A = this chain, B = another copy of it.
Amino acid sequence: MRDLGEILEGFERGDERALARLITFVENLWEIDEIFRRIYPKVGKAYRVGITGPPGAGKSTLVDKLAVEILERGFRVSIIAVDPSSPFTGGAVLGDRLRMVKAMERGIFIRSMASRGSLGGLAETTGMVADVLDAFGYDMVLIETVGVGQSEVDVVKATDTVVVVLVPEAGDSVQALKAGLMETADVFVVNKADREGADRFVRELSAVVSLSPNEWKPPIIKTVALSGEGIKDLADAILKHRDFLGERLKEKRINRMVEQIENLLTKRFLNKVRQKYDIRKMFEGGNFKNPYEVLGILEREFLD
């Protein structure tokens, strides 16, 4: 498989190696127009589940068990694992893939993506990789991210059901996390629910959830990912949210498509501007211009 044509043929035959190659193309924004013009007619069947939460909440183990549970219910399931790759947290979290042993044993397709150095923006690229998995024929895609940074939260926002995983804990910073993630969550998981303080934590969380003005009140599922406790309840909750969405799902997908097209179009617009003008140079050196005059010049040239 040396060229894109060959890869696309392999992809359409259901070859997983071709799938992996095609994802590499998409991650690097190579030939994406050609790729998606060809495969997009098959996009739209996969249900997308985002799983997020702080490091150490046990997400990888949870996703591992959840994927197997969903597989056993008759779905074709695959996993995208977004790894934070900060210079500080470094490769440490990359080891998480090692925790997805059950899914790997069952032959579930797992793709790791680094959250840094994503050319097209993390949320956009992850969305396009999910599209590729969708077109390949998966009907459930689980996307795991660490929900701390800004772009990681954007990733899960672009899914159909967002699962926020927390662990029983006290203190201000849990409040902080809750405030940030509260509006994002469709389902809460309190993992490590055998820990001390779990019931109190669930009660506090329930109190906050009950204030939600939305029709859908996020259920709170207690799990112990290591032992598998609560995984069936989690799968039930996700499928129940899918049923709740019903017709709204189509609306969500159209929103995603519109956003994707607008993002690509504006990125290409900006590239066109940058090819002709070095905006930085217009400020540097001696002729330090008023940026709003520069804006005026660019508007007359590109938007009239």
Contacts and interface: CB of A to CB of B under 8 A. Distances in A.
Interface of A: 33, 36-37, 40-41, 54-57, 84, 86-89, 146, 148-151, 153-154, 167, 169-177, 179-180, 182-183, 208, 211-213, 254, 257-258, 260-262, 264-266, 268-270, 272-273, 279-280, 283-284, 290-296, 298-299, 302-303
A283 B258 CA distance: 8
Given A261-B291, A268-B299, A177 B148 contact: yes
A150 B148 contact: no
A182 B86 contact: yes
A294 to B, nearest CB: 6
Contacts of A290: 36-37, 40-41
A37 B297 CA distance: 12
Given A150-B150, A171-B173, A265 B295 contact: yes
Given A36-B292, A283-B258, A291-B40, A172 B56 contact: yes
A56 B175 contact: yes
B33 A86 contact: no
A2 B41 CA distance: 56
Contact of A258 (B182, B258, B279): B279
A11 B167 CA distance: 52
Contact of A89 (B86, B146, B172, B179): B179
A59 B160 CA distance: 36
Contact of A173 (B149, B177, B270): B177
Nearest to A57: B172
A302 B265 contact: yes
Q: Which of A148, A175, A279 gathers most chain B CB within 10 Å? A: A148
Contact of A298 (B57, B208, B261): B261
A37 B87 contact: no
Nearest to A150: B150
A176 B169 CA distance: 13
A148 B179 contact: yes
B260 A291 contact: yes
9 contacts: A36-B290, A88-B208, A146-B176, A254-B280, A257-B283, A261-B291, A262-B270, A262-B273, A265-B298
A156 to B, nearest CB: 12
Nearest to A304: B272
A179 B212 CA distance: 29
Contact of A254 (B56, B266, B283, B292): B283
